Amino acid sequence: MFDLDGVLTPTAEVHMRAWQRMFSEFLAARGVAEPYTDNDYFDYVDGKPRYEGVRSFLRSRGIDLPDGSPDDPADAETVCGLGNRKNDLFAAVLATDGVQPYPGSVDLLDQLRDAGPQLAVVSSSKNAPAVLAAAGLAERFGLVVDGVVAADEELAGKPAPDTFEFAARRLGAPVNRSIVIEDAISGVQAGCAGGFGLVIGVDRGVGPERLHAAGADLVVADLAELIKE
């Protein structure tokens, strides 16, 4: 079971830029001197459902906003409004620039296709189907559990293991025989909390030490390292 952003596609970088712009503009408008940094992304936002990422970061700055509604406009001063503002920025970049999957990830998927295991994407993002389609990977996976599925099924987001456990049930795969591949601390924590057979961390910037500390059994810099010769 693969996370998407940062594991299969470099869209984590697009998410990072969108969060950076949104939060930086928000903090500046409120006169907050402490800037938003990449560490804030890894500590409070990465891998979490969008609105929970907003809540987590705001708590770190002692800022209290009403939750609002998922239908809030992007200029609303609510948790959902900020999350929707960030999503608009992400969608604009995706539509303009597209996305190419990591070559090493594609190579691993090629090998796994020949080997025959069941493959799923488990992502907090509601954009996961669009990203998979843009990257030409949609047909590689028999199951996609994204933010929309999680909301419909009332599944807690990462670092809770619920979305991974749901995917395993849908695949008919025992948890202790399933592999979770994640680049986010919250995702690794989810795999560890669920008792999955193997949790692989992909270090795209968070650092191998932090991924191991979160519960990763193995950490690689690229999925090509997992290919058997």
Which residue has tokens 């189907």? 129
Both tokens of residue 76?
């609303």
**Of the candidates 203, 164, 193, 169, the residue with the CA atom closest to the CA atom of residue 180:** 164
Catalytic residue among 3, 46, 72, 146: 3
To the query of whether residue 75 is one of the catalytic residues in this protein, the response is: no
Angstrom distances, CA of residue 184 to CA of 96, 112, 173, 226: 26, 23, 23, 18
d(CA 170, CA 156): 16
Angstrom distances, CA of residue 10 to CA of 105, 108, 125, 217, 228: 11, 16, 14, 23, 23
Which residues make Cβ contacts (< 8 Å) with residue 100, sequence separation at least 6?
Answer: 9, 10, 135
Which residue has tokens 């809030």? 72
To the query of whether residue 43 is one of the catalytic residues in this protein, the response is: no
d(CA 187, CA 169): 18
Q: Residue 199: which H helix or E strand, with range?
A: strand 198-202
d(CA 64, CA 229): 53
Both tokens of residue 158?
């990462």
Active-site residue numbers?
Answer: 3, 5
